């Protein structure tokens, strides 16, 4: 069993012994079809609505005593920089710099360096198709964390992920000078959340790296669930989040940022259990404002 290797990202700490810090709940903003986005390539969006969503997450993280982050998504280099700029100005929470194309990810990284927010930026993510330019860019600008997508399509088992980290990602990370990445186990459909949970445990045990997954990715395909209605979708999402957290998940991507309210509540509840046990049984000192202290005062916070 490897030593846990927690990663500090701005005011948050991701990873470490289970329960010592809360999981990081991540929601996506500015994706292609996001209702606030008017033109994903020009970078035009409804600033008022976007600011409202960001404020909501800031408030939820405080009230529920959990760590939250923004998964900022871009399709075009200039548009991506606008999105990062806007989000960074309105929050102190970590930002994932996420794009499907290397060119856009690099532009985001360089912009984060220029803006001076690398200490709370997560590069999302290194994957099978990572290009040399990205490695070079990461050598020039070191973000607080680098995420790796350790999902081997040819071997989607925990063993496959371990092997992929060892043979594919570790040399890349050494080149960048990154000791501990955040590992995204990758989820292909709803049933495979269970496989990702096992992968999270395996990665934490083998390497000590913070690990997690975007369990939300597969929910749109779960058509039978969607037809039951929003409440049931949220219940299943919350179940997936809590299951992944209980398996040791440090990085918990719940999907679109509009879901943040329900997800913050579910995660906060789980952190109460984990945090108390970590404190009582392992002697962990919980960080200030932890869910254990916040969740019991939610009604007061709401009234205020």
Pairing of strands 37-39, 44-45: antiparallel
Name the helix (H) or strand (E) containing 255. Answer: strand 251-256
Instruction: Verify binding: residue 188, other proteins, rule CB under 8 A.
Output: yes
**How many residues lie near other proteins (CB under 8 A)?**
18
For other proteins, give the closer residue by CB, 118 or 135.
Answer: 135
Residues 85, 188: Cα–Cα separation, whole Å:
31
Smallest gap from residue 129 Cβ to other proteins (A): 5
**Region near other proteins per CB under 8 A, out of 114-122, 188-196, 264-272, 294-302:** 188-196
Q: Map residue 24 onto helix, strand or coil.
A: strand
Residues 176, 144: Cα–Cα separation, whole Å:
12
For other proteins, give the closer residue by CB, 152 or 250.
Answer: 152
Smallest gap from residue 131 Cβ to other proteins (A): 11
Instruction: Verify binding: residue 132, other proteins, rule CB under 8 A.
Output: no
CA-nearest of 185, 299, 191 to 248 is 185
Residue whose pair of structure tokens reads 């979708």 in the numeric block: 233
**Region near other proteins per CB under 8 A, out of 9-17, 183-191, 231-239, 250-258:** 183-191
Instruction: Verify binding: residue 129, other proteins, rule CB under 8 A.
Output: yes
Q: Which residues lie below 8 Å from residue 157, measured CB to CB, with a gap of 6+? A: 195, 199
Instruction: Verify binding: residue 226, other proteins, rule CB under 8 A.
Output: yes
Instruction: Verify binding: residue 224, other proteins, rule CB under 8 A.
Output: yes
CB-based contact 19:278 (threshold 8 Å): yes
CB-based contact 247:42 (threshold 8 Å): no
Smallest gap from residue 248 Cβ to other proteins (A): 21
What residues line the site for other proteins (CB under 8 A)?
100-101, 128-129, 153-154, 156, 188-192, 195, 223-224, 226-228
């Amino acid at each position: 069993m490897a030593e846990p290797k927690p990663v500090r990202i701005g005011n948050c700490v991701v990873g470490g012994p289970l329960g010592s810090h809360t999981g990081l709940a991540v929601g996506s903003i500015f994706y292609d079809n996001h209702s606030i986005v008017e033109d994903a390539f020009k970078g035009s969006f409804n600033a008022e609505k976007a600011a409202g969503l960001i404020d909501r997450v800031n408030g939820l993280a405080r009230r529920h005593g959990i760590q939250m982050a923004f998964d900022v998504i871009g399709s075009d280099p200039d548009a991506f920089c606008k999105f990062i700029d806007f989000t960074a100005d309105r929050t102190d929470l970590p930002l994932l710099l996420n794009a499907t194309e290397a060119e856009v990810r690099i532009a985001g990284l360089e912009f984060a360096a220029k803006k001076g927010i690398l200490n709370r930026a997560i590069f999302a993510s290194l994957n099978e198709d990572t290009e040399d330019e990205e490695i070079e860019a990461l050598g020039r600008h070191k973000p607080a964390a680098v995420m790796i997508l350790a999902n081997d399509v040819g071997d989607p088992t925990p063993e496959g992920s371990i092997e992929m980290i060892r043979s594919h990602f570790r040399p890349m990370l050494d080149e960048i000078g990154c000791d501990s990445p955040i590992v995204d186990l990758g989820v292909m459909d709803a049933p495979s959340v269970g496989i990702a949970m096992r992968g999270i445990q395996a990665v934490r045990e083998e390497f000590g790296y913070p690990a997690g997954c975007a369990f939300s990715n597969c929910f749109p395909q779960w058509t039978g669930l969607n037809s039951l209605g929003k409440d049931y979708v949220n219940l299943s999402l919350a179940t997936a989040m809590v299951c992944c957290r209980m398996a040791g998940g440090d990085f918990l991507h719940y999907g679109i940022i509009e879901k943040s309210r329900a997800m913050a509540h579910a995660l906060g509840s789980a952190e109460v259990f984990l945090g108390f046990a970590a404190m009582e049984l392992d002697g962990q000192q919980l960080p200030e404002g932890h869910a254990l202290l916040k969740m019991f005062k939610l009604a007061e916070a709401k009234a205020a």
